[in-house]
Amino acid sequence: MAQYAMRANIVEHSLEVMNVALAIIDNLKSDVQTNRDLVIAATLLHDITKTRSLETRENHALSGGTLLRELGFTSTAEIVEQHVIMRDINLGGRLEEREIVYYADKRVRHTVIVTLEERVADLIDRYGTTEAIRTQILQNKQQALLVEQKIAGFLKGDMHQQKGQSLEFPSLAKRGKGRFNR
Ligand SMILES: [Fe+2]
């Protein structure tokens, strides 16, 4: 992170995305297999080229993936490339690490845990300069809702989301992070 001069707020964002991802992993039903180390690596590195992209306007998801692939981290690269928009979604398949990272990132605005609704409103606010971009953000929201449903199906009973609400993370709430039951 230091080598690529990540801004402190992006490092903090990445750490909180990791916390959300781990809260999900820690609450999975006991028979769900997932690569925890891969999720940790991908959450910490998902915005590795974001700082640079603020200047270059490059697509930081793709360039982050390219960078990690060059460094030999192929599995992490695959996930980072898809952290903004997933290439596809297999609703009936196993819970994939890329889905956990993609979803966790959608629940952290800067360093605050928010609902999907709030995150999408923020994205439209910051990036929704044209109708085409706004449409794309809303399409991505639909994908995020599907991923949320999929993840919910793999979580232990007490973690199931309340109707119409985002997933909740009691372990993070206890630390006073994030806002819940909204
Ligand atoms: Fe990102």
Residue 180: per-residue pLDDT: 42
**Per-chain residues with Cβ under 5 A from ion ligand 1:** 47
The DSSP output letter for 108 is: E
What is the pLDDT averaged over residues 153-179? 64
pLDDT in tens, 68-112: 999 999 999 999 999 999 999 999 999 999 999 999 999 999 999
Q: Which helix (H) or strand (E) holds 112?
A: strand 112-113
What is the pLDDT averaged over residues 61-71? 97
What is the pLDDT averaged over residues 136-140? 92
Nearest-angstrom CA–CA distance, 7 and 2: 9
Residue 41: pLDDT over 70:
yes
pLDDT in tens, 3-12: 677 889 999 9
Domain 8-85+93-166, CATH class in plain words: mainly alpha
In the chain, where the domains are located: 8-85+93-166
Measured in Å, residue 124 CA sits from the centre of ligand 1 at 15
Per the CB < 8 A criterion, the answer to whether 127 and 133 are in contact is: yes
Measured in Å, residue 158 CA sits from the centre of ligand 1 at 30
Measured in Å, residue 175 CA sits from the centre of ligand 1 at 25
